[in-house]
Amino acid sequence: MAKIGVILCNCFGEIGDTVNLETIRERLASDPAVDVVTLRESLCQPGDAAAVHALIRERGIGKVLLGACSPYGRMEVVRLALAKEGVDVRTVRAADLREGCAWVHGKDPEGATRKAASQLGMEIALLQNMEDSRDIDIRIRREALVVGAGPAGLSAACGLARMGFPVHLVDRGTAPGGLLNIVTKSYPTDDPGPAKLNPLIEEMTRNPLIRFFGKTKVASVKGYAGDFKVALKGPEGSTTLRVGAVVLATGARLLFPQGLYGYGKTKNVITQMEMERQFAAGSVACKSAVFIQCAGARNAERPYCSTICCPLSLKNAMRIVEEVPGAEAWVLHRDIMTPGSVLEAYYRKALQRGVRFIRFDADRPPQVRGDGQVSGVEVFDVLSGVTRSIKTDLLVLSTPLVADPESAALTRMLEIPVDRHGFIAEVYPIHPVETRNDGVFICGTARWPVSSDQALAQGEAAAVKAASFLGRGTASALSMSRVPGPKLGHAQANADTCTGCGNCVAVCPYGACKLQRMGQRSVSRVIKVRCKACGSCAAVCPNGAMQIPEQNYRVTGAMIRRAFREVR
């Protein structure tokens, strides 16, 4: 049993003026669990860490307890300094005697002293009972799988390859490009659509690190960060790969709203996709084109804004006005979504070019007139309070992107959640291309409707994030914590006492607990790299078989029993 040494910090009186450190030192000196007790003026000033390290070495202290300040202030400075000295900071605990004690109980020094003694005692109980999670090193395979070769996927693949990582780029279509393939002119620069992607496609073709699989789908993915076993199914049969990271760039589909505004029934009621095809074929002919925004979006069924439909209509409306002689273009909208500098300037450009705008309300949508073929649209203009009748021979519905149903299967295989619209959820707004599963990244419209420029940027972001993981070579499971510093530990199931009830499997937010057959029984096994030590599994285990060694039930029990000893 390692020697426990307690070092109490006076903090220049900030602790010692309220908490009677002498009383505490005496008490601890007679505590059989404590081998060494000393007092110091400070722990965080220059030279302190070296002095503490010297003390640890001289007195042969195995576990250190500091009576110090809040973990959110100077303590982290102290820990870093000690780590730099070579101290194993996983054996260093600290009780908050300042922000948590002296500074909030200044009017009751006796009470503060009792509390300080209790908090220190609880930490000693922890140090006596804590065990060590066995760490494992995983080898991270230095290659990536990118699923989907639209703008996001191409961008991610090229980014990774540029950084020196082999990439397997898979697409269910024959060629890369995704939805951008059908766009002849992209906004806001008016470049030809595929021109955006041609440099990337060329790069993909020329860089030997990128292997492109056309007309291929992912049949299965197993494993975890650093080692995913992938089975692909393509025109030439199956291929198996082992990769370190997976980037999902599976895109989205455009909504074809049967029945909405006469779509599918009335002639010349089309979606933006058909509009793009007509432009590509040079066959746009109309006298007056009307675009209806939010067609099937921002409603009860799809309560989201699909980002691209407003700029898309501005682009196509301007094309009509500029390329079709004598034609006019109307955009019927509920809000014009052109945030930022570039898009707002694009909106102004459309206004200057003579595109006309009418605002309508969601509860009074436009009415389509026409028998078999669209002839006009009636809309209540909320800004003027007048119902307008617009003659039109081409009605274009701006419909939203919707989640691709095929990506759902992939997310289930990778055990990452989708939101209620079917788009893949990121782990947190400040980590928008990362998922709750380490090593799995998302970008592009599979994540959320975005423009091709945004998809390109997200692909690059996913590449950088994936590269930082792949470049590690090996990683210890304890290091994969997602917070500064290592994990507390990882959960562990006692195979002898585990009953295989599966509570832990159900509750684990990371899919780290799995049931494994062991002879006649099933027992729980924790995938160490996935576990983040939240403790949920231990909390729901009916017989205590599942524990986190560093804070196992003996630790908690001992801390609880110790908590009020000074108050009896």
Partner 1 sequence: MSSSAAGTNILVFACRWCGLIGADAAGRRRTELPVSFRVIPVECAGYVEPDAVIRAFASGAAGVAVLGCHVGGCRFNDANHPALKRLELLRTLLDATGIGGDRLLLGFGTAHEYHQWADTIRAFHKHVAGLPSMASWLPAAAMTGER
Partner 2 sequence: MQNMKNQKKTVLIVGGGVAGVSAALDLAANGHRAHLVERGHDLGGQVAKLDKFYPTDHCAFCPLWTEIRRCKQDEAIAIHPLSRVETLEPQAAGHRAVVVESAPVVDPSLCIHCGRCEAACPKGVAKPIWEHAYPPVYVIDRGRCGDCRACAEVCPTKAIAFDREERRIALDVDEVIWAAGFEEVSLAPMKEYGWGTHPDILTSLEFEAWKAEAGDNRGKILRRSDRTVPLSILFVQCAGARDLRFLPHCSAVCCMHALKQAQWVKRRNPEIDCVILYTDLRTVGRDYYEYALRDFNGNGVRLVRGRSSLITPLPGGNGIAVKYEDTITGRREIRPFDMVVLNGNLQSSLASKPAPEVRPELSGEGFVTAASVSCGFVLEPADVTESAIQASSAALKAITDRN
Q: Is 242 left (phi over 0), alpha (psi -120 to 50) or beta?
A: beta
Nearest approach, Cβ of residue 529 and partner 2 (Å): 17
Residue 519 binds: one of partner 2, partner 1, none (C-beta under 5 to 8 A by kind):
none
Name the DSSP class of 340: S
Residue 248 Cβ, how far from partner 1 at the closest point, in Å? 18
Residue 554, phi then psi, degrees to nearest 5: -70, -40
Residue pair 355/317 in contact (Cβ under 8 Å)? The answer is yes
Beta carbon of residue 101, minimum distance to partner 2 (angstroms, whole number) = 15
Q: Which is nearer to partner 2, 12 or 564 (CB)?
A: 12
Structure tokens given for 439: 């090593």
What residue type is assigned to position 459 of the chain?
Answer: G
The helix/strand/coil state of 217 is: strand
Nearest-approach distance from CB 46 to partner 2, in angstroms: 8
Site map (CB under 8 A) of partner 1, residues 84-123, x = contact: ------------x-xxx--xxxxxx--xx-xx--xx--x-
Asked if 240 interacts with partner 2 (CB under 8 A), we say no
Residue 436 touching partner 1 (CB under 8 A): yes
Which backbone phi and psi does 281 adopt, to 5 degrees? -85, 0
**Residue 413 interacts with, from partner 2, partner 1, none (CB under 5-8 Å by kind):** none
**H-helix or E-strand spanning residue 461:** helix 452-470
Q: Is 163 in the site for partner 2 (CB under 8 A)?
A: yes
H or E element that contains 331:
strand 328-333
Q: Min. distance of Cβ 475 from partner 2 in angstroms? A: 12
**Closer CB to partner 2, residue 178 or residue 400?**
400
141-170 CB burial, b ≥16 within 10 A, e <16:
bbbbbbbbbbbbbbbbbbbbbebebbbbbb
Closer CB to partner 1, 433 or 456, in the complex: 433
Which entry of partner 2, partner 1, none binds 532, CB below 5 to 8 A by partner kind?
partner 1
Q: State both tokens at 389.
A: 């009748």
Please provide residue 356's backbone torsions phi and psi, each rounded to the nearest 5 degrees. Answer: -105, 145
Which residues from 23-42 bind partner 2, rule CB under 8 A? Answer: 42
Burial class (CB in 10 A: 0-12, 13-18, 19+), 297: buried
Contact flag: residue 486 with partner 2 (CB under 8 A): no
Residues 357-386 that bind partner 2 (CB under 8 A): 359, 361, 382-385
Strands 394-397 and 269-271: parallel
Contact pick of 232, 284, 355, 461 for partner 2 (by CB under 8 A):
461
Task: Out of 20, 25, 27, 45, point to the residue binding partner 2 (CB under 8 A).
Answer: 45
Asked if residue 367 lies in contact with residue 377, where contact means CB atoms within 8 angstroms, the answer is yes
The residue with tokens 């109307």 is 330
Q: Which is nearer to partner 2, 209 or 540 (CB)?
A: 209
Please choose which of partner 2, partner 1, none residue 107 contacts, taking the beta carbon within 5 to 8 angstroms, the exact cut-off set by kind.
partner 1
Write the interaction track for partner 1 spanning residues 469-488; mark x where CB under 8 A is met and - where it is not: -------------xx----x
> Are residues 349 and 317 in contact, defined by beta-carbon separation less than 8 angstroms?
no
Shortest reach from residue 385's CB to partner 2, in Å: 5
